[in-house]
Chains A and B, each alone.
Chain A
Amino acid sequence: MSIGLLFFVFILAIFLGVELISKVPSQLHTPLMSGTNAISGITIVGALTAAGSGADIFGSVLGVLALIFATVNVVGGYLVTNRMLAMFKRKDGEQK
């Protein structure tokens, strides 16, 4: 993939992010933060590549450590966000 194309995607994604999140009610600030925090665990894809293809033992160790940290970030982040959002309730009992 060409370098220019990567940058193109990057710039577009930044703009998209700004558009998506410009107005968020304050009661959702924490879930939004921990939810996006879980998404930043996407580095797990890089960690998978690293863990599965280390050149030597030390490389593999680095990769596996990266994988463990990223997995904690992903799993913990999504679960705790879900737990938080499950608590937000409306009067009629419907969950939001």
Chain B
Amino acid sequence: MTDYSEALINLGYIIASILFILGIKMLGKPQLARRGNLVSSSGMLVAIVSALFECCLSFTWVIAGLIIGALIGVIAAYRVKMTSMPQLVAILNGFGGIASLLVGWENYHSQPDSILFVRIAVLLAVFIGGVAFSGSLVAYGKLAEKISGRPVSFRGQLLLNAAIVILILICSVLFAYNPSAFYAYALFLLFILLSLTLGVMGVIPIGGADMPVVIALLNSYSGLAACAAGFIITNNVLIVAGALVGASGLILTGIMCKAMNRSLGNVLFGGLKAGPDKADRAQIQGEPKPVSFEDAYYILEAAGSVVFVPGYGMAVAQAQHAVRELGEILEKNGAEVRYAIHPVAGRMPGHMNVLLAEANVVYEQLAEMDDVNPIMDSVDVCIVIGANDVVNPSAREVASSPIYGMPIINADRAKTVIVLKRSMAAGFAGVENPLFVRENTRMLFGDAKATLQRLITEFKES
């Protein structure tokens, strides 16, 4: 290859890196986000074209791979429902991880006698990529409800995990120093297997409600895996892009943890105590007060300001369109309507925002927790739709509660609270919610979507 063409290829990688940086910056700004995504995707195109100039001895394989991958990607992106977005993000993330693992594997397979530095990078790409892949698959299974969303724990779990980590360390040291020994390939395969196992073991003990943290963290891993792949092929664009993703994933993880008032270690290893403890249960006295559709209608009809608080239950019932319709009717009726969204409501960061945006709720009506809490006292009606732990006043009041200290939306401070709920079951955290028996709370039991549609009919008929 001439110096001239090499310089051009490197220029391509530099341009791609700049486009990624600009794209990520714009993704963080509401007005620019969509353009930012376009900028970053054009960066990817530049990177791919540059790579095509230097990569290939045979194009047949390469073209076939690109076409197959692109077809699957297009179909997945256009067929997914917005309610299934968390699992799609999880599985795409897993694919990025396995790709880095395979890049590492191919490098070792084709050049087993590489220098120590490259071998370490191969191990890192395989390890991080493998954990990201199998972890994302488990997260996918939990989110798509193909496997139980409950935390899985058994005796000796911590011990088993520790054993896996130690084995991984032994394998990597042996492998790094004896890459051409007769047993090296076997060690390498064992290393892959152990990394994949660790990913599974890491995610199964984490419950459905903690998924926003896990997804953000796995996102960070797949970025770091790409980084490691960049060290293998000594390519800066992989290192820059991978590091940017790694950093952004970690920041999102931090934001999610803060929103639950828990440390990352607590989310990954601690888990909440299952079921309410006695002290917590003792706090809850009184009966929930069911309300008829007619009475609910009168309450809403008279309301001057209404705040909706959506939760995962809204996603399950696919009630976002019905929520928006009721919101519009209330607005026409003269009420001020807002949607208060807790940072960890749902199963991925920003889950509720995506669903409400799909239902055409305008951006100005979406309020963050910190904006809506100070005015909650003056709100006439707060409608809680399939949310539980994020409006649980125990987090504020009961020091013995497992979720004590978690910032919540103060729904209970509104003059009247209407809770749409399927049954009186505890939330995902397994904690009783005293909000449901408060003096100012009215319960509307049933499927959220059907309930909302009944309310809409009440408004239309009168």
Cβ-defined partner of A71 (8 Å) among B33, B65, B245: B65
- B241 touches A (CB below 8 Å): yes
Main SS at interface, chain A: helix
Q: Are B363 and A40 in contact (CB under 8 A)?
A: no
In Å, the complex CA distance between A81 and B82 comes to: 11
In Å, the complex CA distance between A26 and B212 comes to: 12
- B348 touches A (CB below 8 Å): yes
For A71, the closest partner residue in chain B by CB is B69
Interface size on A, as a range, is 35 or more
Q: Are A40 and B96 in contact (CB under 8 A)?
A: yes
In Å, the complex CA distance between A96 and B366 comes to: 14
Number of A-B pairs whose CB atoms are under 8 Å? 400
- B68 touches A (CB below 8 Å): yes
In Å, the complex CA distance between A29 and B255 comes to: 10
Q: Which residues of A contact B249 (CB under 8 A)?
A: 33, 36
Q: Nearest-CB distance from A55 to chain B (Å)?
A: 4
Q: Are A42 and B34 in contact (CB under 8 A)?
A: no
In Å, the complex CA distance between A75 and B20 comes to: 15
Q: Are A82 and B92 in contact (CB under 8 A)?
A: no
For A94, the closest partner residue in chain B by CB is B31
Q: Which residues of A contact B239 (CB under 8 A)?
A: 6, 9-10, 13
Q: Are A49 and B51 in contact (CB under 8 A)?
A: yes
In Å, the complex CA distance between A31 and B251 comes to: 15
Residues in A80-96 with C-beta less than 8 Å from chain B:
80-91, 95-96
Cβ-defined partner of A68 (8 Å) among B31, B68, B109: B68
Q: Nearest-CB distance from A67 to chain B (Å)?
A: 3
For B75, the closest partner residue in chain A by CB is A76
- B225 touches A (CB below 8 Å): yes
In Å, the complex CA distance between A40 and B36 comes to: 15
In Å, the complex CA distance between A67 and B107 comes to: 14
- B178 touches A (CB below 8 Å): no
CB-CB under 8 A for A29 and B44, given A13-B239, A43-B226 = no
Q: Are A83 and B78 in contact (CB under 8 A)?
A: yes
Q: Which residues of A contact B134 (CB under 8 A)?
A: none
Q: Which residues of A contact B358 (CB under 8 A)?
A: 87
In Å, the complex CA distance between A72 and B80 comes to: 14
Q: Are A82 and B349 in contact (CB under 8 A)?
A: no
Q: Are B69 and A28 in contact (CB under 8 A)?
A: no
Q: Which residues of B contact A69 (CB under 8 A)?
A: 69, 95-96, 98-99, 102
Cβ-defined partner of A48 (8 Å) among B48, B64, B354: B48
Q: Which residues of B contact A52 (CB under 8 A)?
A: 55-59, 61-62
Q: Nearest-CB distance from B182 to chain A (Å)?
A: 18
CB-CB under 8 A for A36 and B226, given A53-B56, A59-B110 = no
- B401 touches A (CB below 8 Å): no
For A5, the closest partner residue in chain B by CB is B236
CB-CB under 8 A for A9 and B362, given A45-B235, A73-B95 = no
Q: Are A40 and B27 in contact (CB under 8 A)?
A: no
Q: Which of B156-164, B214-222, B436-444, B453-461 contacts A (4 or more CB under 8 A)?
A: B214-222
Q: Nearest-CB distance from A68 to chain B (Å)?
A: 4
- B72 touches A (CB below 8 Å): yes
- B233 touches A (CB below 8 Å): yes
Q: Are A67 and B66 in contact (CB under 8 A)?
A: yes
In Å, the complex CA distance between A49 and B52 comes to: 8
Cβ-defined partner of B33 (8 Å) among A39, A75, A90, A96: A96
Q: Are B21 and A37 in contact (CB under 8 A)?
A: no
Residues in B95-127 with C-beta less than 8 Å from chain A:
95-96, 98-103, 105-107, 109-111, 117
Q: Which residues of A contact B103 (CB under 8 A)?
A: 43, 46-47, 49-50, 63, 66
For B212, the closest partner residue in chain A by CB is A29
- B231 touches A (CB below 8 Å): yes
Q: Which residues of A contact B107 (CB under 8 A)?
A: 50
Q: Nearest-CB distance from B90 to chain A (Å)?
A: 9
For B85, the closest partner residue in chain A by CB is A30
Q: Mark A1-45, 1 if CB is under 8 A from B, else 0.
A: 101001001100111111011111111111111111111111111
Q: Are A34 and B47 in contact (CB under 8 A)?
A: no
Q: Are B109 and A84 in contact (CB under 8 A)?
A: no
- B70 touches A (CB below 8 Å): yes
Q: Which residues of B contact A6 (CB under 8 A)?
A: 230-231, 234, 236, 239
CB-CB under 8 A for A17 and B366, given A29-B350, A64-B64, A75-B77 = no
Q: Are B362 and A45 in contact (CB under 8 A)?
A: no
Q: Mark B244-267, 1 if CB is under 8 A from A, else 0.
A: 111111011001000000000000
Q: Are A25 and B73 in contact (CB under 8 A)?
A: no
Cβ-defined partner of A22 (8 Å) among B74, B93, B251, B364: B251
Q: Which has the most chain B C-beta neighbours within 10 Å: A15, A20, A23, A86?
A: A20
Cβ-defined partner of B245 (8 Å) among A37, A67, A74: A37
Q: Mark B355-394, 1 if CB is under 8 A from A, else 0.
A: 0011010111010100000000000000000000000000
In the complex, given contacts A39-B241, A41-B96, what are 15 additional A-B residue pairs having Cβ atoms less than 8 angstroms apart?
Answer: A18-B251, A24-B251, A27-B363, A30-B353, A36-B223, A37-B93, A42-B226, A43-B99, A50-B103, A59-B110, A63-B61, A78-B41, A79-B77, A82-B37, A89-B357
